[in-house]
């Protein structure tokens, strides 16, 4: 079995968005919390082999190169980032640091260079207390698919750190997906800074449905590349 990460779903210009790729791989394990570790940037437009074993979970391979591995996880470390009132999000999102400086402006999730209907266009602004907030207007072609919930949980967490001045990529993400949004739904996405040590930064993120339900929670480990 193989999967191919289309160029549309890129994060950096030449590799897949980490959250999206993690979601695609996590789907092979069925439901429940999953941890996905990204070992190397996922190549685009390349058939990647998917294999599974009782001991190693599900692996994604580019020839002999291990791209990512997914395994069942506990949700004990996952928290719901407290939401902000939806009425305040437009003003918060207008302060998105990525509008002024973005290490990956073509990112499928948070890239300002992506057009509506192509990218998710999540623009997480900072609140000043370690949290970020933005809205996700769910399009027809991404509704109902858990991998796009994983994608939406990716970048809003990363932007709780100063990623514009210190580019980072997703190294590991543990997520629990409770439900998926409907087409046309406007969902609140919250991120939160947890801590940093050396090249590693940890963040939390939460996706809320329009009715306030938690659709998904994640904790991510980011690796600085510069």
- Please check the confidence at residue 18 and state whether its pLDDT lies above 70: yes
Which residue, among 6, 37, 27, 1, has the nearest Cα to 222 in the 3D structure? 37
Q: What pLDDT, on a 0 to 100 scale, did the predictor assign at position 220?
A: 98
In the predicted model, what is the mean pLDDT of residues 58-77? 94
- Residue 83 is encoded by which pair of tokens? 């939401």
- Please check the confidence at residue 53 and state whether its pLDDT lies above 90: no
The DSSP letter of residue 76 is T
Cβ atoms of residues 77 and 219 within 8 Å: yes
pTM of the model: 0.96
User: What order do you get walking across the sheet with 57-62 strand by strand?
Assistant: 2-4, 47-53, 57-62, 65-72, 34-38, 168-177, 214-224, 200-208, 186-197, 131-137, 125-126
- Please check the confidence at residue 35 and state whether its pLDDT lies above 80: yes
- Please check the confidence at residue 85 and state whether its pLDDT lies above 70: yes
Q: What pLDDT, on a 0 to 100 scale, did the predictor assign at position 30?
A: 83
Q: What pLDDT, on a 0 to 100 scale, did the predictor assign at position 191?
A: 98
Question: What domains does the chain contain, in order, with CATH numbers?
Answer: 2-224 (2.40.160.210)
Alpha helices in the chain (DSSP H): 18-26, 89-93, 146-152, 155-158
Cβ atoms of residues 69 and 56 within 8 Å: yes
- Please check the confidence at residue 90 and state whether its pLDDT lies above 80: yes
The DSSP letter of residue 128 is S
Q: How far is CA 152 from the centre of its chain?
A: 5
Q: What is the pLDDT of residues 108-164, one digit of tens each?
A: 999 999 999 999 999 999 999 999 999 999 999 999 999 999 999 999 999 999 999
- Residue 133 is encoded by which pair of tokens? 């907030």
Q: What pLDDT, on a 0 to 100 scale, did the predictor assign at position 31?
A: 81
Cβ atoms of residues 154 and 219 within 8 Å: no
pLDDT band for 54, please (50, 70, 90 cuts): low
Bridge partners, residue 52, by sequence? 58
Bridge partners, residue 196, by sequence? 201
- Residue 173 is encoded by which pair of tokens? 């993400």
Cβ atoms of residues 71 and 174 within 8 Å: no
The DSSP letter of residue 80 is P
Residue 75, burial from CB neighbour count under 10 angstroms (0-12, 13-18, 19+): middle
In the predicted model, what is the mean pLDDT of residues 58-70? 96
Q: Name residues whose C-beta falls within 8 Å of residue 206's C-beta, 6 or more positions apart in sequence.
A: 79, 80, 81, 83, 153, 189, 190, 214, 216, 217, 218
User: What percent of the chain has a predicted confidence (pLDDT) above 90?
Assistant: 94
Q: What is the pLDDT of residues 175-225, one digit of tens each?
A: 999 999 999 999 999 999 999 999 999 999 999 999 999 999 999 999 999
- Please check the confidence at residue 56 and state whether its pLDDT lies above 80: no
């Amino acid at each position: 079995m193989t999967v191919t990460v289309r160029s549309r779903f890129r994060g950096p210009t030449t590799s897949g968005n980490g959250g999206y790729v993690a979601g695609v791989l996590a789907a092979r394990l069925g439901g429940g919390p999953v941890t996905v570790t990204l070992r190397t940037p996922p190549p685009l437009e390349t058939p990647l082999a998917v294999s599974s074993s009782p001991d190693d979970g599900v692996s994604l391979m580019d020839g002999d190169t291990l791209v990512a591995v997914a395994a069942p996880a506990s949700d004990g470390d996952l928290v719901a980032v407290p939401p902000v009132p939806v009425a305040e999000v437009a003003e918060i999102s207008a302060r998105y640091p990525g509008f002024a400086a973005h290490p990956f402006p073509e990112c499928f999730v948070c890239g300002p260079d992506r057009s509506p209907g192509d990218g998710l266009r999540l623009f997480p602004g900072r609140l000043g207390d370690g949290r970020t907030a933005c809205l996700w207007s769910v399009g027809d072609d991404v509704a109902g698919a858990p991998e796009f919930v994983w994608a939406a949980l990716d970048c809003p967490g990363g932007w709780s750190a100063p990623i514009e001045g210190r580019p980072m990529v997703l190294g590991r993400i543990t997520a629990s997906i409770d439900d998926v949004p409907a087409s046309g739904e406007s969902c609140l996405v919250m991120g939160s800074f947890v801590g940093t040590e050396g090249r590693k930064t940890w963040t939390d993120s939460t996706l809320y449905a329009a009715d306030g339900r938690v659709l998904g929670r994640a904790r991510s480990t980011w690796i600085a590349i510069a």
